[in-house]
Amino acid sequence: MIQSVWPYLAVMLLAAGFWPAIERRFGWKVFEVLPPIVLTYLTVTALSVAGTWTATPEIHAAQDMLVTRMVPALLFLLMINCDLRAILALGPRVLGVFACTAVSLFAAFVVTFLLFRHWMPGDGWKPLAALSGSWMGGTANMIAVKQAIGMADTSLATSLLTDALCYSMWVVVLFSVARLAPAFNRWTRAKSSADMAVAQTATRAPATGDSVLLWLGIAVGVAALSTVLGSLMPIGNMVSATTWTILIATAAGLVAAHTPLASLPGAQAVSSALLISVVAVLASQSSFAGIAAAPLYLVCGVTVIATHAVFLCLFARLFHFDLYLCGISSLAHIGGVAATPVLAATYSRSLVPVGILLALLGYILGTGFGLLVASVLSSLAS
């Protein structure tokens, strides 16, 4: 049984690297449904329940410190690849589809909560709010919203499972409807975007040892400074010092993305490692108690996606959006930067840069979107 910090950290790092390494080596089909980050959470939770370590004051202090520092550092690094100039250059039609997708998801979360709130506990809105952060951006946004609203660690498993399973279902649907594009475009009176001309996104150099160390140092420094500045900001019912810390770190990353610092390779590799490490540390404080609520939230997730699809189709009819842009925008929200280019390439290879840039825009807005949804749902719950 582990009772000191260094063996505990060794287990966290091994657990964080195990499933990504297995996916890279073998590429099993199970990873299409349950990605490594979900399997990491479940594995570390199982180790915690089995009593692999004891929550001594030393380990507990290490857990708090790691999460407090790593989440803002992670968000800072995620913003480095987000070029706002390239995103704005996509034009009003593409950005309009993105905005309508965001509005449809917001409405879908509110409608779903109103339908199912009577079966939820008093703080049952929190897993949905965290999920909304992920379905605008990604898992990092989910964790940022979780920390900002004070959601229990045991509820994170519910949000992660709902995210993974519903996303997998939605990807299949979006791939399947491609053949319906001509009929859909006639109904919406839209021109196909298959031949849209978009500048290719710049390729990044691979990470090097020195660049990894530099990014780690910069990110940890930004996290520390953001924490100090966040503690000086005014707070309210839905805005805490942690909320300010997360928003300041995100803004710092956006600023850095438009400086020569952004050309330094390695930010994406470091952020990916930090993300799965944060999930492992959060899982080490959890149990399987939250998974009992998973069936209800899976139904909620399906309802959110179905409602979102209906609203987005209505927006497409109103503003004459074509199926390809709607599908890419939807997956940019719900699936993120990893899956969206694949779907875009299936529709039309010229749309791949659109998928990447919209997914990056989701990362930028994901935390704020999740906090907005949290504010509305908490008001409806009271």
- Range 164-190 average pLDDT: 89
Residue 153: band (very low, low, confident or very high) from pLDDT cuts 50, 70, 90:
confident
pLDDT at residue number 290? 61
* Cα(100)–Cα(110) distance, integer angstroms: 15
User: Would you say 147 and 285 are in contact if contact means Cβ atoms under 8 Å apart?
Assistant: no
**pLDDT at position 87 over 60:** yes
Q: What angle do CA 217, 222, 225 make, to 5 degrees?
A: 125
Q: Considering only residues 33 and 2, tell me which one the structure prediction assigns the higher pLDDT.
A: 2
Q: Considering only residues 225 and 78, tell me which one the structure prediction assigns the higher pLDDT.
A: 225
Structure tokens at 48: 């915690």
**pLDDT at position 99 over 90:** yes
User: Would you say 289 and 263 are in contact if contact means Cβ atoms under 8 Å apart?
Assistant: no
pLDDT at residue number 195? 67
Q: Quick one: angle between helices 352-381 and 125-136, nearest 10?
A: 160
**pLDDT at position 197 over 70:** no
Model's pTM, two decimal places? 0.83
What's the DSSP call for residue 51?
T
pLDDT at residue number 292? 63
3-state secondary structure at position 174: helix
> φ, ψ for residue 53 (rounded to 5)?
-135, 160
Residue 339: band (very low, low, confident or very high) from pLDDT cuts 50, 70, 90:
confident
**pLDDT at position 118 over 60:** yes
pLDDT at residue number 196? 64
**pLDDT at position 43 over 80:** yes
Residue 199: band (very low, low, confident or very high) from pLDDT cuts 50, 70, 90:
low
pLDDT at residue number 346? 82
- Range 25-42 average pLDDT: 86
Write down the mean pLDDT value for the chain. 89
| Integer CA distances (angstroms), 215 to 17, 48, 80, 177, 277, in order | 19, 31, 10, 41, 16
What's the DSSP call for residue 160?
H
Residue 16: band (very low, low, confident or very high) from pLDDT cuts 50, 70, 90:
very high
Judged on CB neighbours under 10 Å (0-12, 13-18, 19+), 352 is buried
pLDDT over 70, % of the chain: 95
- Range 140-169 average pLDDT: 88
Helix locations, 51-208, DSSP H: 57-79, 84-88, 92-116, 125-136, 139-149, 156-176, 181-188
No. of helices (H) and no. of strands (E), the chain: 16, 0
> What per-residue string of b and e applies to 216-234 under the rule 16 or more CB within 10 Å gives b?
bebbeebbeebbebbeeee
- Range 37-59 average pLDDT: 88
